[in-house]
């Protein structure tokens, strides 16, 4: 029996296109993993893809390439875009925002969630290309 083929998509970096791509991806019968895994994968990809749409392409929508390849420990996800690089040419550390009773933040949890749900995250910016690769483990 051969390994499942990678799933590769090209997405326009807009909130509507990102949502449509995620909806289509999560309903694919060839996407491996149980429902818990699929929920974690969807959270991670939604955070990453929406961050790209908002921050990498602030002036006009660009293109995003996404490839998912099943690996021994989890789904290997590679996301490529040609938008602005991440600040400091590094993926954010993913610390949750400070919280007090008087100040409950509405955002700032994206990279905390991504880093909490992933392993082996790497980011490179080279020749105008952002390349983010990570693994969403089969089991949390």
Altogether, the residues listed in the chain come to a count of: 140
pTM: 0.89
pLDDT at 27: 94
Please, what sign has the CA dihedral across residues 40, 41, 46, 49?
positive
Range with the lowest mean pLDDT among 6-10, 30-34, 35-39, 66-70? 30-34
| Count of Cβ atoms closer than 10 Å to residue 45 Cβ | 23
pLDDT at 2: 61
Q: How far is CA 107 from CA 16, 22, 69, 135, in A?
A: 20, 21, 30, 24
pLDDT at 62: 97
Mean pLDDT of the chain: 91
pLDDT in tens, 16-43: 999 999 999 999 998 988 999 999 999 9
| Phi, psi (degrees; rounded to nearest 5) at 70 | -65, 130
pLDDT at 105: 47
Say yes or no to pLDDT of 51 above 60.
yes
- Asked if 52 and 17 touch (Cβ cutoff 8 Å), the reply is no
């Amino acid at each position: 029996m051969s390994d499942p083929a990678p799933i590769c998509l090209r997405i326009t970096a807009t909130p509507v296109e990102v949502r449509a791509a995620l909806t289509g991806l999560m309903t694919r019968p060839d996407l491996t993993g149980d429902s818990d895994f699929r929920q974690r994968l969807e959270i991670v990809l939604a955070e990453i893809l929406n961050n790209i749409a908002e921050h990498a392409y602030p002036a006009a929508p660009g293109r995003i390439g996404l490839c998912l390849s099943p690996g021994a420990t989890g789904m290997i996800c590679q996301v490529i875009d040609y938008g602005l690089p991440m600040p400091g040419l590094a993926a954010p550390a993913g610390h949750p925002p400070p919280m007090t009773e008087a100040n409950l933040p509405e955002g700032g949890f994206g990279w905390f969630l991504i880093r909490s749900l992933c392993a082996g995250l790497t980011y490179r910016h080279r020749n105008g290309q952002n390349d983010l690769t990570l693994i969403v483990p089969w089991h949390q």
